[in-house]
C-alpha cells in the first residue's frame, strides 16, 4: 500500500473518533462485534444505520486502519457534524475544511431509512444526496478545484465522506479506499435496482460477485441450493453459466425454459453427489439455520467426486444476537479446505450475511482464463456408482432430520 495518495502529499491526521455505517436495525449487533474485536473503541453516538466510536488515546488506530467487522458496510475517521436548514451553508462550511481540500473524491449519501427491500427501499445514492453532491461539485468548480462526486474510486484513494444522518444534520470525515467496498459511495455498489428480476437474490448475488472478486465465466457450471424462485439463477444465466437449481419449490417459468438451466426438484440433502461432479461454483440460499446451511454444503464439498472452486453462501439469522457466531461459521468453512474465506453483510442483504470461500485465491483475479470441465471417464462412472450408494445411505439417515 502506498504511503501517499495522489494529489495529497500530506494526508489528514487520525481523528479521535471513527464513524461506522451499517444496516438499519443492525446497530446492536454491529456495536457488539466491533467492541469485541477492538477493545480500544468506545461507543460515542448512535442512530439507526449510523454509529460513532471514540478511539482510545492509549491504543490509537493506525491512519489507514482496517475495521474487523462483517456487519460494517463502510467506515472512516469522523471529524464532526454540522446542522442547518440551508444545505448551501453546510456545503460552504464543509468545503473550507483542510481535510476536505486534501481529497479530490467526495462520497455523500443518506443513511438507510429502512431495511433493504422494505417499503420498496433499496440502498444507493438517493435523489437528495445527488442534489447535495451537485452543490459540492458546483462549489469546487467555482474554486477551480477538481472534485469527483459519488463515483467508485481507485484503490487507496483518499475520500472525503458526508453522511446525511438527517436532511439537516450531516456528519463528515474521510477514509482511504483500502477495501473493495471502501471504494463505493456509502459502501454500496452502483447496481441498477430498476431492472426486472425474479427476486432480490439477483441484487444480492450481483453485489456478492463485485465484492468478492469472483468472475462467473460463460460455460461455468453453477449449482444453487435453495434456488426458488430464481433471482440468483437469472443473473448466472445472464452471465452465460450452465445452472443447476435445487429446490423442491417451483421456479419461475422464464428460468425453467432457459436452455442452460436444469431444475432438480429436491432438497439439497436428497440430491445424488454425482450431480455436482463438474460444478465450479456452489451457491446456497436456504431459509435455515446457518449451521445447517454449512453442514449441507460441507456434505457436498467433502464428497470425493466433487471439486468446487468456490462457494457463495447466504446465511440467515433469526435474531441479530446470533450474528456473534459469524467468526465460528467462517472457521467451519475454512476447515473444509478453502484458502480464502470472507464474510460481509452486503448492502442488499437483510438479516443475513454473505460468506464467500475459494480454494485458490488466484481464481479471484478478474479475467482468469476459463477451463472447461473434463468429461467423465468410464472409471469415473464406476466410481460414481459406488460413491452414490454410500452417499445415498448417508442421505437416507439425514433426510428425516434435514430440510431445505
pLDDT at 132: 97
| 9 inside domain | no
270 to 21, 225, 278, 283: CA distances (angstroms): 41, 11, 18, 16
Contact between residue 348 and residue 200 where contact means Cβ atoms under 8 Å apart: yes
Inside any domain, residue 395: yes
Which of the four pLDDT bands, split at 50, 70 and 90, describes residue 171? very high
Q: Cell for 143?
A: 474554486
Q: How would residue 401 be classed by pLDDT, with cut points 50, 70 and 90?
A: very low
- Asked whether residue 313 falls in the same domain as residue 272, the answer is yes
Q: Are the C-beta atoms of residues 55 and 5 closer than 8 Å to each other?
A: no
pLDDT digits (tens, 9 = 90+) for 28-62: 999 999 999 999 999 999 999 999 999 999 999 99
Residue 358 shares a structural domain with residue 231 = yes
Question: In what order do the strands lie in the sheet containing 17-21?
Answer: 41-47, 50-55, 17-21, 74-83, 169-176, 158-166, 105-110, 148-149
Domain boundary among 153, 187, 221: 187
Q: pLDDT value at position 402?
A: 38
Sequence-ordered alpha helix ranges (H) in 178-318? 201-212, 231-238, 253-256, 290-301
User: Is residue 195 in a domain?
Assistant: no
Tell how far CA 281 is from the center of its chain: 17
Q: 231 and 153 share a domain?
A: no
Instruction: For the chain, give the percent of residues with pLDDT over 70.
Output: 88
Cell numbers 426458488 correspond to what residue? 228
What CATH number should be reported for the domain holding residue 109? 3.30.2130
pLDDT (tens digit per residue) in 385-398: 554 455 444 444 44
| Predicted pLDDT of residue 363 | 78
At residue 372, does pLDDT exceed 50? no
Query: What's the average model confidence in pLDDT over 229-249?
Result: 97
Kindly tell me if the per-residue pLDDT of 340 is higher than 50: yes
**pLDDT computed for residue 2 by the predictor:** 39
Q: What Å distances lie between residue 278 and 216, 219, 306, 337, 382, CA to CA?
A: 15, 11, 7, 18, 16
**Are 272 and 393 found together in one domain?**
yes
Same domain, 216 and 183: no
Regarding whether 213 and 174 lie in a shared domain, the answer is no
Whether 372 and 292 map to the same domain: the answer is yes
- Predicted structure pTM score: 0.86
For residues 182 and 118, membership in a common domain is answered with yes
Residues 343 and 289 in one domain: yes
Q: Is residue 196 part of a domain?
A: no
Q: Which of 187, 209, 238 is the last residue of a domain?
A: 187
pLDDT at 215 > cutoff 80: yes
- Give how many domains the chain has, as a whole number: 2
Question: Do residues 52 and 27 touch, judged by C-beta distance below 8 A?
Answer: no
CATH number for 297:
3.40.50.150
Is the Cβ–Cβ distance between 349 and 70 less than 8 Å?
A: no
* Model confidence at 382: pLDDT above 60: no
DSSP three-state, residue 149: strand
pLDDT tens sequence across 273-303: 889 999 999 999 999 999 999 999 999 999 9
CB neighbourhood size of 232 (10 A): 29
Q: Is the pLDDT of residue 74 over 90?
A: yes
In this structure, what are the phi and psi dihedrals at residue 399, rounded to the nearest 5 degrees? -60, -30
Relative to beta strand 310-316, strand 352-358 is antiparallel
By mean pLDDT, which of 71-80, 251-260, 372-381 is the weakest?
372-381
pLDDT at 365: 62
Residue 26 in this model has a pLDDT that exceeds 50: yes
The confidence band for 9, taking pLDDT boundaries of 50, 70 and 90, is: low
Mean pLDDT of 224-244: 97
Q: In the predicted model, what is the mean pLDDT of the chain?
A: 89
Let me know whether 170 and 210 are in one domain: no
**Cβ-based neighbour number of residue 39 at 10 Å:** 9
81-112 tens-digit pLDDT: 999 999 999 999 999 999 999 998 999 999 99
pLDDT at residue 156 above 50? yes
* Residues 216, 186 contacting (CB under 8 angstroms): no
Contact 329, 373 (CB under 8 A): no
Domain residue limits at 88: 17-187
Same domain, yes or no: 223 and 116: no
pLDDT of 190 > 50? The answer is yes
Same-domain status, 91 and 24: yes
Helix, strand, coil fractions of the chain, as percent rounded to 5: 35, 25, 45
- Which pLDDT value is given to residue 145? 86
Q: Which residues touch 391 (CB under 8 Å, ≥6 apart)?
A: 272, 273, 303
Over residues 127-152, the mean pLDDT reads: 94
Q: How many CA atoms lie less than 13 Å away from 270 in the CB half-sphere?
A: 14
For residue 181, the number of C-alpha atoms closer than 13 Å in the C-beta half-sphere is 29
Strands (E), 193-338: 221-225, 242-246, 261-264, 281-284, 310-316
Percent of the chain predicted with pLDDT > 90: 81
Cα(48)–Cα(67) distance, integer angstroms: 19
Amino acid at each position: 500500500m502506498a504511503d501517499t495518495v495522489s494529489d495529497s502529499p500530506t494526508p489528514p491526521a487520525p481523528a479521535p473518533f471513527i464513524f461506522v455505517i451499517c444496516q438499519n436495525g443492525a446497530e446492536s449487533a454491529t456495536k457488539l462485534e466491533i467492541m469485541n474485536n477492538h477493545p480500544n473503541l468506545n461507543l460515542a453516538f448512535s442512530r439507526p444505520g449510523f454509529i460513532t466510536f471514540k478511539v482510545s488515546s492509549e491504543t490509537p488506530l493506525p491512519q489507514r486502519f482496517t475495521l474487523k467487522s462483517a456487519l460494517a458496510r463502510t467506515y472512516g475517521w469522523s471529524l464532526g457534524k454540522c446542522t442547518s436548514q440551508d444545505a448551501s451553508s453546510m456545503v460552504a462550511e464543509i468545503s473550507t475544511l483542510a481535510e476536505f481540500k486534501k481529497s479530490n473524491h467526495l462520497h455523500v449519501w443518506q443513511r438507510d431509512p429502512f431495511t433493504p427491500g422494505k417499503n420498496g427501499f433499496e440502498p444507493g445514492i438517493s435523489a437528495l444526496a445527488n442534489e447535495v453532491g451537485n452543490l459540492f461539485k458546483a462549489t469546487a468548480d467555482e474554486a477551480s478545484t477538481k472534485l469527483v462526486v459519488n463515483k467508485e474510486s481507485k484503490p487507496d484513494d483518499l475520500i472525503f465522506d458526508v453522511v446525511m444522518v438527517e436532511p439537516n444534520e450531516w456528519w463528515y470525515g474521510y477514509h482511504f479506499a483500502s477495501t473493495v467496498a471502501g471504494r463505493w459511495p456509502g459502501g454500496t455498489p452502483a447496481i441498477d435496482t430498476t431492472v426486472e428480476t425474479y427476486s432480490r437474490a439477483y441484487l444480492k448475488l450481483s453485489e456478492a460477485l463485485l465484492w468478492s472478486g469472483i468472475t462467473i465465466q460463460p460455460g461455468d457450471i453453477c449449482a444453487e441450493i435453495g434456488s426458488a424462485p430464481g433471482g440468483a439463477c437469472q443473473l448466472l444465466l445472464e452471465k452465460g453459466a450452465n445452472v443447476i437449481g435445487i429446490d423442491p419449490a417451483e421456479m419461475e417459468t422464464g428460468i425453467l425454459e432457459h436452455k442452460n438451466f436444469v431444475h432438480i426438484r429436491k432438497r439439497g440433502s436428497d440430491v445424488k453427489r454425482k450431480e455436482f461432479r463438474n460444478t465450479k461454483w456452489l451457491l446456497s440460499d436456504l431459509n435455515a439455520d446457518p449451521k445447517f446451511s454449512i453442514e449441507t454444503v460441507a456434505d457436498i464439498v467433502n464428497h470425493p467426486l466433487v471439486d468446487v472452486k468456490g462457494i457463495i453462501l447466504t446465511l440467515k439469522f433469526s435474531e441479530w444476537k446470533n450474528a456473534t457466531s459469524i467468526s465460528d461459521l467462517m472457521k467451519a468453512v475454512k476447515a473444509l479446505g478453502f484458502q480464502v474465506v470472507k464474510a460481509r453483510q452486503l448492502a442488499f442483504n437483510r438479516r443475513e450475511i454473505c460468506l464467500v470461500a475459494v480454494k485458490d485465491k488466484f481464481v479471484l483475479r478478474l479475467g482468469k482464463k476459463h477451463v472447461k470441465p473434463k468429461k467423465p471417464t468410464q472409471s469415473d462412472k464406476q466410481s460414481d456408482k459406488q460413491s452414490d450408494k454410500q452417499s445415498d445411505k448417508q442421505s437416507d439417515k439425514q433426510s428425516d432430520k434435514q430440510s431445505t
